[in-house]
């Protein structure tokens, strides 16, 4: 599995390199990246989420979905107090953008193709569940962190495209409703953009980051360590203590999928969300850059360690 994931990560880094090259050569602008990001977040990823739930209803799939949702919630509840302790008192928006960047993984842009490569269609289903919970988190507690407030709009949370798509997909799954073949084919083409387009967008964003800014601030590396190592390993410890991989036949798939999502680098949303709420979007971009580059090593390591330990518990 480690080799399969390493190969998939390598493919994604090639796509990321394409984004860097076309930005450096002036073929596209950062504005183009922001516009395409909106297209991915509003159309491509929601389409993929609905498509992931387009399968015949089976009780064991219901258990898989429930377990994936529960474990994703556990991860975010675990990450909130740990990051609050680590980032308390940090200046220059590290206590907001930095903290959010440590919690929020690139579960959509990188997580979906990685989970699909590792576990096939079931991996994509676990990814869809993780993304739904992730969006509930980032539009609730995530917004509170950036706004430095305890107030957030429930309407704003529930009407985010990915949450709506996940709820719609779940409803179609539970009601055993299959969409027409022509519509599914069209959705398949759109969903197929979820790997190449986001990685190219990420490359465009990384191209804007000056290399020297990645090495003159130790807090950047503390945040990267939290995102790529500390929080994933803490989650792995919790899964092993709870014996989550042995809850039921197929629980290991949910646990491994959640671990892959937890191991992904900082979400691109940590660039777009700070920009929306007048926080330091440039810090988010630097964190996306450094964690994405380091993840080519850490993702296979975390995943292989999880796959080795799960059968023992």
Mean pLDDT by 10 residues, the chain (313 residues): 71 86 88 80 85 81 91 96 91 84 89 84 87 87 82 75 85 87 90 83 82 82 96 97 90 94 91 77 85 90 92 81
Find the helix or strand (DSSP H, E) in which 274 lies: helix 269-276
d(CA 255, CA 247): 10
71 vs 243: CA distance, rounded Å: 12
CA atoms within 13 A of residue 19's CA, in its CB half-sphere: 28
Q: How far apart are CA 117 and CA 243, in angstroms?
A: 25
pTM: 0.85
pLDDT at 42: 83
Q: For residue 2, what pLDDT is reported?
A: 61
Q: Please identify, in words, the CATH class of the domain defined by 2-305.
A: mainly alpha
What is the pLDDT at residue 312? 81
Cα 81 to Cα 113: distance, rounded to the nearest angstrom? 29
Residue 262's pLDDT is: 95
């Amino acid at each position: 599995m480690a080799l399969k994931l390493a190969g998939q990560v390598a493919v994604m880094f090639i796509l990321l390199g394409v984004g860097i090259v076309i930005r450096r050569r002036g073929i596209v602008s950062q504005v183009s990246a922001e516009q395409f990001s909106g297209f991915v977040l509003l159309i491509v990823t929601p389409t993929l989420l609905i498509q992931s739930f387009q399968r015949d209803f089976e009780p064991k799939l219901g258990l898989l979905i429930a377990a994936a949702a529960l474990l994703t919630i556990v991860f975010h509840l675990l990450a909130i107090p740990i990051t609050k302790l680590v980032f308390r008192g940090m200046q220059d928006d590290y206590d907001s953008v930095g903290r959010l960047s440590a919690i929020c993984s690139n579960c959509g842009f990188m997580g979906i193709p990685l989970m699909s490569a590792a576990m096939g269609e079931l991996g994509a289903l676990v990814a869809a569940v993780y993304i739904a919970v992730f969006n509930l988190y980032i539009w609730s507690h995530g917004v509170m962190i950036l706004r430095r407030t305890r107030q957030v709009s429930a309407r704003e949370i529930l009407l985010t495209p990915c949450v709506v798509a996940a709820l719609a997909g779940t409803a179609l799954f539970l009601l055993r409703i299959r969409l027409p073949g022509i519509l599914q084919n069209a959705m398949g083409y759109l969903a197929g953009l979820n790997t190449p387009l986001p990685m190219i967008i990420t490359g465009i964003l990384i191209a804007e980051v000056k290399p020297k800014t990645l090495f003159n601030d130790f807090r950047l590396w503390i945040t990267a360590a939290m995102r790529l190592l500390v929080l994933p390993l803490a989650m792995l410890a919790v899964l092993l203590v709870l014996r989550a991989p042995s809850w039921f036949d197929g629980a290991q798939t949910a646990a491994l999928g959640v671990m892959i999502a937890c191991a992904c680098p900082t979400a691109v949303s940590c660039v777009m969300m700070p920009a929306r709420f007048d926080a330091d979007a440039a810090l988010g971009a630097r964190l996306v850059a450094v964690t994405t580059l380091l993840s080519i090593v850490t993702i296979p390591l975390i995943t292989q360690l999880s796959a080795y330990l799960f059968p023992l518990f």
